[in-house]
Structure 1
Amino acid sequence: AMLWKIRIVFTIVNVVYNIFRPIWLFFHKKPPSIPPITRPIYMLSATKLAKKIREGEITSSEVVREYIMRINEVNSFINAVVDERFADAIIEAKNYDQQLKEGKFDIKTLEKEKPLYGVPITIKECCAVKGCSHTGCTLPCKGIKADYDAAIVEMLRNAGAIPLCVTNTPEMCGGFDSTNLLYGRTCNPYDTRYAEDLGLLMKVMTSKCNHDLRLDVPVDLKQIKIYYRQSLDKTIGVLSMSQEIENCVLKAANHFARYNVRAEKVQYLQLIYQCTRDLTYLILQLPIEWPVTIIDIGLTGYLNVKKPPQMLLDASDSEHHKNVKVEMMKALFGLSEHTKQLLFFTIPFETHFPFTESEISHYTKHTEKIRQKLLDLLGDNGVLIYPTFRKQFLPQFVLCEIMSFANCAIFNLIDFPAAHVPMGLNLHEGMPIGIQVNFN
């Protein structure tokens, strides 16, 4: 299992966290509320907006201008947009309207080939949008602009979408919280609407393999096997499971009862035994048996990345390799160009701490075993409902909750598609909570 000294450290951190979290919540003043939505157009999904534009009920220019107005109205509250291309977007929208007016496309052609025709979108700053900021939200790259569109942006443009702006991310996408020293922190307004556009976006993003995915084939729920795991293994050094998130899993599983589909609960029993090389956790599950905890699998998989990217960039010297330990010490005194969150994620890449090479190899072998057990369980028509995180995150305590990443990382490591499903806000802090759905 993971080194005991690391578990002990995180146990102490969790004790401190559980003491200070309620104190912080008691004294914390909520930021000002964003201006309420007064225009019905803001509540329409991309699917409905595209349909209205195609059918001439509204023009792309009107939609683009409305969303620019809303961005200008709320961005001072949430600090989400870091660079914009509003003028170019308005010109593109006018061109789209003119093409429709001239009859260049018929409705059926647009729906099939350009399903996002005239719909404004935002793009994360880590994805290149020509003419917009493309720094990875890291301070050393301040001022860098993209001179091309990333492949994903090209796909969206080909589907008819109009990029309005680029939005904030964690530094080098190395964290859970969108905060960095270049653009500051984004205060998320937590839109809890369900993803009506999921099917449409899957078609756009997988345009080259739509036929293989059979996205247009109706799903017979009675042919789907539904499994769920309501709680996670209790592991020393890791936060306990939130009752609200357990309830979310149960709510999602019970949802299928209205369609006369029974969801089967995945039970588990955790035992500890002594093996020849170290103290290892054995998790016995029905019908899954996992040989080690997902925390160990998640961490070692993270450390096993081949040729990890250079995270601590130096814009003046691309060959310069910064020492992460030195940067961490500088960060404690506010002297580093990098966030503590990124440095925390970078330390394992640089040092393989807390595992040795042999331990990484040992747990990597177990990853394939877990993958095979899930393949056997789910087959071609199985779905597993699983907690995404153990607790709802508070940005100010994100480093205390860092171990929870393994709950979703495990499915990335074994190449299982996964989608996070928002389930609303928790009762006490008003923070977003949800579950993940995994399948083969």
Structure 2
Amino acid sequence: MALSRVERLQVWLFKALTGLLFALFRFFSPRGSAALSGKRLPPVGHPLLLESATQLARKIRRKEVSSVEVVQAYIDRIQEVNPFLNAVIKDRFAAALQEAAQVDKLIEEETGGEDILEDRLPFLGVPLSVKESFSLQGMPFATGLVSRRGVVATVDAPPVALLKRAGAIPMGVTNTSELCRWMESHNHLHGVTNNPYDLERIPGGSSGGEGSILGAAGAVIGVGSDIGGSIRMPCFFNGIFGHKTTPGVVSHDNQHPQFSGRQEEYVSTGPMCRYAEDLLPMLRIMAGPKASMLSLDAEVDLKKLRFFTIPHDGGSPFTSPVSRELIDAQRKVAERLEADLGVEVREVRLPELRYGFPIWDTYITLRDNDGKPPRPFAELMGDSGPPAWPLWELLKWLVGRSEHTMAAIGLALMERTHHSKPAPFIIQQKEKLQREVEELLGTDGVFLYPSHPRVAPRHHHPLFRPFDFVYTGIISILGLPVTQCPLGLGEEGLPLGVQVVAGRLQDHLSLAVALYLEKTFGGWREPGGKP
């Protein structure tokens, strides 16, 4: 299936524009911090930092360790690594210690026993990090926008409130890309966040601050959101677990920016963590009353699942080829599944995946049922004031006067290339892909798919390959749950990983596979540790 002349022209225009923007960026932007070049994070010193949230909560309930001890260990670690990472942009350490002391007092006075506490407060006394685009009472709520400097959240976003109600203690908020619309967590309000495995590389976006601090063992559980890969890319680049929930299960209220058009059909809020066993209990809490939509209590026999592997998107002109290292890692997963479980992992090819970016770009800009389009990105950049004028912002950026990043300016410029009506051919490809995937998965199938064409890129390099996110983005448009799983460290000491995709509302299947992959491939590895 060849691209039409119009589509080939669109590809050329996109690539020409991004190439120009990248060249301008390389010429005019300052170099990275020489002080961090070649530096590595300090090793993890405190043993409590190497426990899952589930294990920490159990030890706290049993008085084997106090919540104050756990919270203090994480405060010390954040203070140790954050100067290297710039992941946590505002802490609440004093309040967290007070809340931890209250937890310890509650446990001392509890007469109902450990089981009562576990049922009512499953994460009692456990530290929690929160993406800054979620409203966390008393914390900044700017999403990297300079004009929102000083905006403070007055309420808690629903999933944050539910985790707090379950006993978790927020430690602070973490950095994002500007307005959560880019795969690198960089903005002119809080600066650039670094990858804990290589400080000269990106942690991903938009939940990059979460991914960075979790990967560095400065947090154990966190909250992220995902409409194009904003949970999965940071989890992949930082070697941790994350779950993009079936859309509509976890509330995305009280996030900034708000979603519009039909974007609410594709956005998901979900857990991010270092240990796979924390994913399901976090999701159960974050979903609240809608947890009943998922079969989270069902036992999963992996030997009875049907497994598939899709090695790449078929050679899209928009995306980079998947690296041999990642193809080999995914092949090893398939081989271990067959050897350990006695299942067949069938390789399939879905030709429509070649159109992943046009599909994502088309559907993310569709009008809602009332005919209202999504709010233009230039308007979001202007916040409550007039919309940004991207060409003017580009000129200002060239002389160091713009408040916006090159990525945001580029997105606003590209937005102007959108057609007023979606192309029928792209709609057809998406509908065909949707049918094929649903028939493939059913209620007992999962497939493996690359998380990204390459391991964590160097800072600002995504400006030159802006469409590589579509390996995660297309799964969002299909409305499927997917668990991002680490697979150890690769040739350069950077995390490897794979997406495990299940059918709609079958989140428990990919979560069960995540537990197996953690046991088989070792899960999260400490930065600077052995591959």
* In 2, Cα distance between equivalents of 1:102 and 1:147: 31
Change (3 A) 1:128 1:104: farther
SS in structure 2 at match of 1:433: strand
Contact 1:299 1:406 in 2 (8 A): no
Tell me by how many angstroms 1:403 deviates: 1.1
* In 2, Cα distance between equivalents of 1:237 and 1:127: 31
1:66-81 to structure 2, matched below 5 A, reads 66-81=73-88
Contact 1:136 1:172 in 2 (8 A): yes
SS in structure 2 at match of 1:318: coil
Contact 1:298 1:413 in 2 (8 A): yes
Q: Give the structure 2 partner of residue 286 of structure 1.
A: none
Which amino acid is 1:409 matched to?
G
Contact 1:132 1:166 in 2 (8 A): yes
1:17-96 to structure 2, matched below 5 A, reads 30-96=37-103
Matched, 1:436 2:499: yes
Change (3 A) 1:311 1:36: same
Of 348, 372, 379 in structure 2, the residue corresponding to residue 266 of structure 1 is 348
Tell me by how many angstroms 1:146 deviates: 1.2
Contact 2:179 2:381 in 1 (8 A): no
SS in structure 1 at match of 2:497: strand
Tell me by how many angstroms 1:99 deviates: 0.9
Cα deviation per residue 1:30-49 (whole Å; 9 max; x = unaligned)? 44212211111111111111
Change (3 A) 1:434 1:309: farther
Tell me by how many angstroms 1:347 deviates: 3.4
SS in structure 2 at match of 1:247: helix
Q: Give the structure 2 partner of residue 294 of structure 1.
A: 356
Which amino acid is 2:289 matched to?
K
Which amino acid is 1:341 matched to?
A
Tell me by how many angstroms 1:94 deviates: 0.9
Matched, 1:342 2:408: yes
Contact 1:314 1:320 in 2 (8 A): no
Tell me by how many angstroms 1:56 deviates: 1.1
Which amino acid is 1:224 matched to?
L
Q: Give the structure 2 partner of residue 287 of structure 1.
A: none
Comparing 150-159 and 327-336, the one that deviates more = 327-336
Of 290, 295, 317 in structure 2, the residue corresponding to residue 214 of structure 1 is 295
Contact 1:141 1:315 in 2 (8 A): no
Matched, 1:321 2:384: no
Q: Give the structure 2 partner of residue 370 of structure 1.
A: 433
Which amino acid is 1:262 matched to?
E
Tell me by how many angstroms 1:11 deviates: 6.2
Matched, 1:379 2:450: no
1:72-221 to structure 2, matched below 5 A, reads 72-103=79-110, 105-190=112-197, 191=215, 192=239, 194-221=275-302
Matched, 1:251 2:349: no
Comparing 258-267 and 106-115, the one that deviates more = 106-115
Cα deviation per residue 1:379-412 (whole Å; 9 max; x = unaligned)? 1111011112112222320111211122211111
- TM-score (ref. length: structure 2): 0.71
* In 1, Cα distance between equivalents of 2:178 and 2:45: 34
* In 1, Cα distance between equivalents of 2:364 and 2:176: 20
Tell me by how many angstroms 1:331 deviates: 2.3
Change (3 A) 1:42 1:137: same
Cα deviation per residue 1:153-184 (whole Å; 9 max; x = unaligned)? 10111111000111111111111111111111
* In 2, Cα distance between equivalents of 1:176 and 1:76: 22
* In 2, Cα distance between equivalents of 1:238 and 1:15: 17
Change (3 A) 1:368 1:315: closer
SS in structure 1 at match of 2:469: helix
* In 2, Cα distance between equivalents of 1:150 and 1:418: 23
Tell me by how many angstroms 1:317 deviates: 7.8
SS in structure 1 at match of 2:281: helix
* In 1, Cα distance between equivalents of 2:165 and 2:358: 42
SS in structure 1 at match of 2:465: helix
Matched, 1:407 2:471: yes
* In 2, Cα distance between equivalents of 1:121 and 1:326: 40
Matched, 1:303 2:365: yes
Unaligned runs of 5+ in 1: 269-282, 284-289
SS in structure 2 at match of 1:197: helix
Change (3 A) 1:265 1:52: same
Unaligned runs of 5+ in 2: 198-214, 216-238, 240-273, 504-531
Contact 2:315 2:354 in 1 (8 A): no
Which amino acid is 1:437 matched to?
V
Tell me by how many angstroms 1:313 deviates: 6.4
SS in structure 2 at match of 1:404: coil
Change (3 A) 1:343 1:266: same
Tell me by how many angstroms 1:105 deviates: 4.8
1:222-261 to structure 2, matched below 5 A, reads 222-257=303-338, 258-261=340-343
Change (3 A) 1:416 1:344: same
Change (3 A) 1:305 1:121: farther
Larger Rg belongs to: 1
Q: Give the structure 2 partner of residue 274 of structure 1.
A: none
SS in structure 2 at match of 1:438: strand
- TM-score (ref. length: structure 1): 0.85
Contact 2:318 2:468 in 1 (8 A): no
SS in structure 2 at match of 1:222: helix
Comparing 330-339 and 94-103, the one that deviates more = 330-339
Contact 2:309 2:346 in 1 (8 A): yes
* In 2, Cα distance between equivalents of 1:139 and 1:417: 34
Matched, 1:5 2:22: no
Cα deviation per residue 1:124-159 (whole Å; 9 max; x = unaligned)? 111111111111111111122111111121011111
* In 2, Cα distance between equivalents of 1:347 and 1:105: 60
* In 2, Cα distance between equivalents of 1:83 and 1:291: 40
* In 2, Cα distance between equivalents of 1:406 and 1:174: 13
Comparing 317-326 and 170-179, the one that deviates more = 317-326
